[in-house]
Amino acid sequence: MSGGHDSSAQRAEDTEVVPVPAAAQQGRRRLVRVDDGDARVLGLVPATEPDMPSLRRQRDELRARIAAGRSDAVRRQHSNGKLTARERLGLLLDEDSFVELEPYRRHRSDGPGLAANRPHTDGVVAGSGTIDGRQVFVYAQDFTVFGGSLGEAHAAKIHKILDLAIANGAPVIGLNDSGGARIQEGVLALDGYGGIFRRQVEASGVVPQISVILGPCAGGAAYSPALADFTFMVRDTARMYLTGPDVVEAVSGRRVTHEELGGADVHGSRSGVATVVHDDEETCLADVRYLVSLLPSNYLEVPPATAATGAKNDHRPRLAELVPVEHNRPYDMREVFAEVVDDGEFFELHEGWARNVLCALARIDGRVAGLVGNQPAVFAGVLDGPAAQKAARFVRFCDAFGIPLVSFVDVPGFLPGVEQEQGGIIRQGAQLLHAYCEATVPRIQVIVRKAYGGAYIVMDSRSIGTDLSLAWPTNQIAVMGAEGAVNVLHRRELAAAADPAALRARLVADYTREYLNPHYAAERGLVDDIIDPADTRAAVARGLAMLQDKRKPGPARKHGNQPI
């Protein structure tokens, strides 16, 4: 810049003043020069000052009407035993934390019955809030508006929530209460569902996804909960299916109720779609809050930890009393879980489905861990197809979000039978095998009693990559039990013996002593340590501390091909 030159004056001289037509001068706005510090610009400002208090009052009144909803529709919702969308969000989120997005959104459709009926929100309340101070993104379908049906605008709001959740690395929670696709909007409604599903797949393994079914969830909408990591349902009011009772009757001639076809208990105990089932909305939403407290916000963060509980030096003599020495006597593996985890508290998933295997989230010495355990109280803890799928899904979730895995093994093998083989138990068992082999999080195996055959291998054995294998003195690791092994190995001798029973007893004792003793696997490096059952909690806590900085990058590839 040359000395002595008045640059501001020069700019003022160079500024072109645009003549304003008389008609424009008589309008609502006038052209003026606005002084912005050293810069001078031309701008349009209102000809008269707005009445801001009046505008605020109008806005607040409209927001209040939107939040209140139609009184008759709200009464119907309550009479059906259901809360409103906003009441549900009030229970789910921290007080006064909800920030609503697009409350004024309305549909643009001119379909039958829609042109003159354009309510705000378009049937879904969406935004962000906090749970125990941690951010989450949420949407709650509003059955009082168009029966919560999904149209173009409705879907666009859910798309935005999913996009924001991914971009901000925060969990996303959907509260479902919808009659399905809005028929009048046709393909736009279907396109809206497709956009939701695509974003859910993009979010998979990036942020936790929780779906809560609090009313109908029918047709294509049912795929959204199926894509989520966790699905909650409430008895009597929640129902989920692809085709309703009327269609089922028309096609098959079989008459079923909504509850029989897709109620909470059906999905909680038979289909396995529901992760958790509750009797009422209040306890359901309280459990969702508790689940969030156990999860990281995204795959780059560690799960929220609490203060250490002294687990590394904790001695639990009761553990030795809980598990019978006799390998054919049942017990409840949940009691073992309770002795190992902090405060005896764990969050069990799929409690009513595939009950012969347990999956749970808990804290051990303040840190979150995923627990998998065979359940000897149900089918002797044998693995079948559903149990393998249940455990595989859980293992993959824990691995995706950096949650260490502790597997408690007491398994006699895979369930034999024609139905199992024809039903795909090979494929289903391979899913669990694939999930464990693929997992790079810290992994600890605890062999409580028996571990036979292929089921031992897939329950996170040393051969498929567990980091630490611990065994109780009662452990028996073998291809099969002593009785079965003797029958195979000594079939001819037994057939020719004068006293087959006595010979069998002697051979079983010999096989047990030689191959089923607790040191056989340890001597061969397949078990790291044989521990006192009372020291299990301490040993697991020390193991998790040892492995907390584990880093194991996966192989260079696009992705594996899981045996689905």
DSSP 158: H
The whole-angstrom separation of Cα 514 and Cα 75 is: 73
Cβ atoms of residues 106 and 123 within 8 Å: no
Could you confirm whether 455 is annotated as catalytic? yes
User: Residues with Cβ < 8 Å from 224, sequence gap 6 or more?
Assistant: 174, 176, 193, 196, 197, 200, 211, 217
Helix (H, G, I), strand (E, B) or coil at 8: helix
User: Residues with Cβ < 8 Å from 510, sequence gap 6 or more?
Assistant: none
User: Residues with Cβ < 8 Å from 220, sequence gap 6 or more?
Assistant: 180, 181, 190, 193, 242
Q: How far is CA 466 from CA 216, 411, 475, 520, 558, in A?
A: 42, 17, 17, 18, 24
The whole-angstrom separation of Cα 143 and Cα 83 is: 10
Could you confirm whether 454 is annotated as catalytic? yes
> Which residue's entry shows tokens 């040191």?
519
One DSSP character per residue, 422-442 reads HTTHHHHHHHHHHHHHH--S-
Catalytic position from the list 69, 123, 180, 219: 219
Cβ atoms of residues 87 and 77 within 8 Å: no
Give the residue from 177, 143, 174 showing the smallest Cα distance to 161.
174
The whole-angstrom separation of Cα 476 and Cα 372 is: 19
User: Residues with Cβ < 8 Å from 552, sequence gap 6 or more?
Assistant: 440
What's the CA angle centered on 362, arms 356 and 366, to 5 degrees?
A: 155
Catalytic position from the list 126, 455, 478, 485: 455
Give the residue from 391, 402, 407 showing the smallest Cα distance to 441.
402
The whole-angstrom separation of Cα 331 and Cα 333 is: 6
Alpha helices in 15-151 (DSSP H): 22-25, 52-68, 71-79, 85-92
User: Residue 376 carries which side chain, given as an amino acid letter?
Assistant: P
Catalytic position from the list 220, 272, 423, 424: 220
Query: What are 115-122's contacts with CB under 8 Å, separation 24+?
Result: 119/145, 119/146, 120/62, 120/66, 121/66, 121/145, 122/146, 122/151, 122/153, 122/154, 122/157
Give the residue from 412, 452, 414, 447 showing the smallest Cα distance to 431.
414
> Which residue's entry shows tokens 């057939």?
495
Catalytic position from the list 454, 465, 484, 497: 454
Query: Catalytic site residues?
Result: 219-220, 454-455
